[in-house]
Amino acid sequence: MIKFSAWQIRCNRRLLIATVMCHLHLVSLRAQNAGDMWGVNSSNQIFRWSGSGWEQIPGELKYISIETDGAVWGVNSSDQIFRWTGNAFRLVPNGALKQIAVRNGTDLWGVNANNDIFRSAGAGAGWTQVRGALKYVSVGGDGTVWGVNGHDEIYRWSGREFTRANGALKVLSVAVGNNVWGINSGNQIFRRSGTGWEQLPGELKEIAAGANGAVWGVNSSDQIYRLAGNRFVLVPNGALKQITIRKTNSVPFD
């Protein structure tokens, strides 16, 4: 019978754990469906998740958002609005936004260069201004809307108006309801916990939450991270300044 030293057993155990974790990491990356994530890099180039990596899409956008049904919208450096047709991004002739958030084809939100808030019922419906001022807005898969203003104050849409919530964030992402994630001015990561906020380890500058529990983000070096348990782990391929995740129909991680 072959005998192993305690040192060999420890080494083999570490190797086994590392191999399993690596395998789980690769499996979980492939679990996100092709087309369920999009992003833009520092040159405003557009990328789409293929199921195992990133593929470049023609065009240039500075911010991008994906609907629950898979349709994709974005805005360019001139604040023009674009919609993905399935093979190209086409200009939406009305409106000018610096940031856009879409739930579906009839529930769109955005903010302009003056932090004015707008919503729309679809590509041909035009934009209606909503009272208030926000620099960033996010809409969840259930229609819940959150945003932050120029002072990093947090607001939630009540159905009639935006009401103040506690905390301070520079950007946020709502999956559904109270499932909200955000980043503060120090790039610290927070998630909504009851009526407060819980800090998680790590630093990100942008974050995107999916309704299935998937959360991805990018840091100040444009490295891409995803949530694994209660921590964010580096995704080895790609470099993006902003990322968006489809709110439904994705396979959960881990």
What's the pLDDT at 225? 97
Whether the pLDDT of residue 93 is over 60: the answer is yes
What's the pLDDT at 254? 35
Predicted confidence band of residue 3 (pLDDT cuts 50, 70, 90): low
Whether the pLDDT of residue 19 is over 70: the answer is no
Query: Which two structure tokens, joined as six digits, stand for 121?
Result: 């019922």
Whether the pLDDT of residue 170 is over 80: the answer is yes
8 Å CB contact between 188 and 172: no
Of residues 195, 165, 196, 171, the one with CA closest to residue 185 = 171
Query: Domains in the chain, please, with CATH?
Result: 32-245 (2.130.10.10)
**From CA 212, how far away is CA 50, in angstroms rounded?**
19
**Token pair 């992003």 is at which residue?**
39
Of residues 100, 134, 130, 189, the one with CA closest to residue 180 = 189
Query: Which two structure tokens, joined as six digits, stand for 151?
Result: 């002072």
Give 142-167 pLDDT, tens digit per residue: 999 999 999 999 999 999 999 999 99
Interior angle at CA 67, CA 63 and CA 68, nearest 5: 145
Predicted confidence band of residue 205 (pLDDT cuts 50, 70, 90): very high
Whether the pLDDT of residue 102 is over 60: the answer is yes
Structure pTM?
0.84
Whether the pLDDT of residue 10 is over 80: the answer is no
Whether the pLDDT of residue 124 is over 50: the answer is yes
Give 28-69 pLDDT, tens digit per residue: 444 467 779 999 999 999 999 998 889 999 999 999 999 888
Predicted confidence band of residue 83 (pLDDT cuts 50, 70, 90): very high
Give 103-115 pLDDT, tens digit per residue: 988 899 999 999 9
Q: Taking the chain, what is the end-to-end CA distance rounded to the nearest angstrom?
A: 38
What's the pLDDT at 32? 61
Q: How many helices (H) and strands (E) does the chain have?
A: 1, 24
User: Which residues, 6+ apart, have CB-to-CB distance to 110 below 8 Å?
Assistant: 75, 81, 95, 97, 98, 99, 100, 101, 117, 118, 119, 120, 127, 137
Whether the pLDDT of residue 175 is over 70: the answer is yes
DSSP string for 165-201? EEEE-SEEEEEETTEEEEE-TT-EEEEEETTEEEEEE
